[in-house]
A and B are shown apart, each in its own frame.
Chain A
């Protein structure tokens, strides 16, 4: 479960989370794709442990010691990437609530991550920055005065910073305004993609906006641009929500209550169906139709019912049982 989700996070009617990622490498060790010596790999792991495990709330795990199910659950919670899950030399450091994590030996030696609920760019960045300083106290990074932090892929060089927000945009999606928004955003050096589902196809109207440019701009400029972009998209979404309700009225209310009806009665439900229905209910919550539910409850249950996360929390339920377990969990939450 994503324990970092909290109630009443800023702009949580539209923004699920803010995420910061810093790419860092050790100065004198080849990047993961070219690292050959066992001792080098161990150095990458031990340096991070030495610098970061001093903070007692962090724990370290080697991915080779984890079950496939646990790794899948971590990818579903967006903590690790598929790429890291497949690597045999990978490692992971996490804080108790998983709001802070360090991916070890993915594309770069280190990916420092910080997640906050809602629109909280300052909070998320400063937590990642703190981690970066803790690490830099004990190691020397691959850094160049001209090019900044050096990364395996030159598209990340410079600040090594990827800042993103995950948004729920049901109204823009329904009103077909999303393609226009995506086109606009790409003009200011940002990218948008679906937060769940394959490629750019968003399932349940969840999208992620992030910066594309990492070099030649300062961290502050990147973050400011993300904030300005996010605020504008939030405005568009809220405006479209009101317009949709004005135009559709009872038809929209009906759709939302029908979604609740299915969620509180179904005996079997797939992941995709759950996401779609929860997305509809979240829209209703934002419009104030469903006072007994909060956005954070919905985001939480959506994460908790992802296939591997659900199986991990329910005695490794087999795929055919998962739809039944999922329906059980959902019935309890939506019995309002």
Chain B
């Protein structure tokens, strides 16, 4: 039997692996087995390497982007796409990953050219104030001070309206 890797020498090492629920056996010559052993004990620790474990790909059929020439295997290795079109070409492999990293796959942020005018300090202040008022309202209810509780309830309602 010839070595699966170099297809030159006789296979003397038989390795069985269990990947994605499938048992695979590879037959290697002494040299190729040694090489594989070496790479096996020096794992890559980059974030992209780590993420590649989450890409759902079928390694047997490589896909190529028709605009920039990036291949799916290349993307799996580097974690980087070559152009905007890659997102469409590799969609089925990328979307599950995006879901893994992010909250979900739907962009909810700004669109190009939109001005946001962020004022989160104010937003946080209002949240804190609301929490305080709610606490005071519960306190008023527990001491049967219903007049005060009603006043606080109205104040909270105003704040909530402003927040929208």
Which residues of A come within 8 Å of B, CB atoms?
A: 25, 27-31, 33-34, 107, 121-122, 125-126, 129, 133, 136-137, 140-150, 152-155, 157-159, 161, 189, 212-220, 223-224, 227-228, 231
Contacts and interface: CB of A to CB of B under 8 A. Distances in A.
A159 B109 CA distance: 6
Contacts of B102: 157-158, 213-217
Nearest to A224: B120
Contacts, number: 142
12 contacts: A30-B68, A122-B119, A125-B116, A133-B113, A136-B112, A143-B111, A152-B80, A159-B109, A212-B101, A215-B98, A216-B103, A217-B109
Given A125-B118, A213-B103, A154 B81 contact: yes
**Those 10 A-B pairs whose CB atoms lie nearest each other, nearest first:** A148-B107, A216-B103, A34-B82, A215-B102, A159-B109, A142-B84, A216-B104, A30-B83, A34-B68, A30-B68
B69 interface: yes
B159 to A, nearest CB: 16
Interface residues of B, number: 41
B58 interface: no
B70 interface: yes
Interface in B21-74: 47-48, 51, 67-70
A150 to B, nearest CB: 5
Given A154-B98, A220-B120, A31 B81 contact: yes
- Secondary structure of the B side of the interface? loop
Nearest to B75: A154
A227 to B, nearest CB: 6
Interface in B117-135: 117-121, 123-124
Contacts of B80: 31, 33, 107, 152-153
A327 B61 CA distance: 61
B137 interface: no
A121 B103 contact: no
Given A30-B82, A34-B70, A155-B51, A126 B105 contact: no
B87 interface: yes
B107 A215 contact: yes
A122 B94 contact: no
